[in-house]
Amino acid sequence: MLNKKLEILQKLDKGESARTNAEDALNEGNTVPHSAALQSVETLLDYMGQRGFDYGDITAVRKICVDIRQEMNKQQKQRLIADFFKAANMKRKIPRLMLYSMQM
């Protein structure tokens, strides 16, 4: 991951395009995954730190990282809850299926 960040920064220093997975996803009409957004914002933070940006600006970008991580955690919790209910629902269906097969 660090090598990828360095590669992007080197391309930017040379004036080249530094397309990322997030840009590719946008160009394809897809939504940007949280992990790609987080990686891009962390790269921006590294860049800002190297270039001596204002502390307030860096703090604002750090807040974006926190917001992305919170959203990722929220979605993970929602997936876990959904998986739990799917599993619980399957446990209830199995005895019914067994009873149905015995009646045949």
Rounded CA Rg of the chain: 23
38 closest CA partner among 93, 80, 75:
75
**Dist. CA 100–CA 104, nearest whole Å:** 7
What tens-digit pLDDT sequence spans the chain (104 residues)?
Answer: 556 666 666 666 666 555 555 555 445 556 788 899 999 999 999 999 999 999 999 999 999 999 999 999 999 999 998 888 888 776 666 555 555 555 55
Break the chain into its structural domains and give their ranges: 34-103
pTM of the model: 0.56
